[in-house]
Chains A and B, each alone.
Chain A
Amino acid sequence: MKRHYLLALCIVGFFACRKAPDLGQLSVNFVVQTSKEPDANFGGYKTYYISDSIALINSNPTDDSLWFDNDAKQLVEAVRANMDARGYTEVSSSHAGPDLGLGLTAIKDLNIGVIYPGWWWGYWGGCYWGYCGYPPYYPWYGGGGIVYSVPTGTIVLDMIDLKNAGADGKLTVPWGSVMSGGLGYTSDDIQLGIQAIDQSFTQSPYIQTN
């Protein structure tokens, strides 16, 4: 009888393993996560500015290198095209008083945590947007913030409210997109990045001037 129990247990043990999922069907498209501040009024903004360069974040916290080759410009152009299509007007300089500042960041070689929506998370530090003194990775844990884990290969697009900057210089982020994928791994990545930027706006129809 004990042999029977043993046989039964062996049969059961054969099936006991958790099945490994078939991931072969997964696409290489970026995962696009967007979030907006609940009270954001996108109709109140008219102008925007975006730099031609993209900030690169990697495992060296003192490395503030910029990405400004033709690939970077294609990603920036995708943001421009979407903003223009939504009725916003680009200004030529960040010192020309734009209502919105748009910043693209590419994450390489590290996983970090950011919080949306809330204050601009200050990954560039320094005096970007004309506001100085904020350390890199400035955290804001205020009400309703969403914590994202941002892995390697991610593009981050921040929309920063410059029109309503407070006297304390804190910059709010009414909208942001975190696009996670394989940036830097294949020659198709830039096209995938452009598609991800387009998708960010597609799933955010509330971004419109009045």
Chain B
Amino acid sequence: MKKLIITSILFFAATAIFAQHNMIGGTWNINVPTNTTYLTKTSFAGGKIDYRHFVKHKNVSFGVALDWASYDQYFPSQTIQKPDGNGAVTSDFVAQVYQVPFVATTHFYFREGKMVKPFAGIGLGASYMEQSLFYNVYESDENNWGFVARPELGAIIMPSGNNWGILVGANYSIATNKTELINSDSFKSFGFNLGIVFIE
């Protein structure tokens, strides 16, 4: 996983240096899972590297983004019956989910040239997920890949004369990563992000 993150960082940096009209930034992400039968606790441990290449004379950018979010939540003791009724497990446990979506993005900007530049966009790509259950002194893990779609809204706030700005955004993420524990085939969340961007 670390290799993927490092490779992505190097890719972003190299692309940004050689392009003409680009944005690169880092944001702090807050994510609210919406799979209500499982994780419900908000994650404050998340981030994103966001690279965008602006198309000349168009209010459009194309880019890539690498996110990560770490969720964990304690569940009091409960009995989980196997769907076929032939088995059951009782324990309290801590569930942790570490999600790393890597998406290609496109954004449309509504007020080009203004200090506050709202945008709407979408990201499509792959989602890597590590899911761990901690119970008593034991741990079990489930890692998988899925497809992720992530529509987003936000704004870039850029004081005139500067090549840096603030990025605020919100998104809804739908990933097809499976969770065998709850027999789920998707992981959904609302995300909010705030960070700094550099444009040249």
- Residues of A whose CB lies within 8 Å of any CB of B are 1-2, 4-5, 8-9, 11-13, 15-16, 18-19, 21-23, 25-38, 117, 146, 151, 153, 180-182, 199, 203-204
Contact = CB atoms under 8 A, between A and B. Distances in A.
A34 B91 CA distance: 12
B72 A34 contact: no
A181 B86 CA distance: 22
A20 to B, nearest CB: 9
Contacts of B137: 153, 181-182
Interface string B63-93: 0000010101010010101101011111111
B200 interface: yes
Nearest to B137: A182
Count class of interface residues, chain B = 35 or more
A5 B24 contact: yes
B77 A29 contact: yes
Contacts of A32: 88-91
Nearest to A39: B86
Chain B facing A: main interface SS: strand
Interface string B123-137: 000000010101111
Interface centre among A1, A18, A23, A204 (most CB of B within 10 A): A18
A153 B137 CA distance: 10
B138 A180 contact: yes
Nearest to B87: A35
B90 A146 contact: no
Contact of B70 (A19, A36, A181, A204): A19
A26 B47 contact: no
A181 B47 contact: no
B92 A8 contact: no
A33 B198 contact: no
Contacts of B98: 18
Contact of A12 (B26, B45, B79, B93): B26
A35 B86 CA distance: 5
A33 B133 CA distance: 15
Interface of B: 5, 9, 13, 16-17, 24-26, 28, 45-49, 68, 70, 72, 74, 77, 79, 81-82, 84, 86-94, 96, 98, 130, 132, 134-138, 163-164, 195-198, 200
Contacts of B86: 35-38, 117
10 contacts: A4-B164, A8-B198, A26-B93, A31-B136, A32-B90, A33-B88, A35-B82, A38-B86, A153-B137, A182-B136
A146 B5 CA distance: 37
B92 A27 contact: yes
Given A8-B25, A34-B89, 6 more contacts: A15-B68, A19-B72, A21-B134, A23-B134, A34-B88, A182-B137
B108 to A, nearest CB: 24
Interface centre among A21, A151, A153, A181 (most CB of B within 10 A): A21
A25 B5 contact: no
The 9 closest A-B pairs by CB, nearest first: A15-B47, A19-B70, A12-B26, A35-B87, A31-B91, A19-B45, A21-B72, A4-B198, A203-B88
B77 to A, nearest CB: 7
Given A12-B9, A22-B94, A203-B90, A28 B136 contact: yes
B93 to A, nearest CB: 7
Contacts of A38: 84, 86
A22 B72 contact: yes
Contacts of B13: 5, 9
A117 B164 CA distance: 63
Contacts of A35: 82, 86-88
Contacts of A27: 77, 92, 136
Contact of A33 (B26, B74, B87, B195): B87
Contacts of A26: 74, 92-94, 134-136
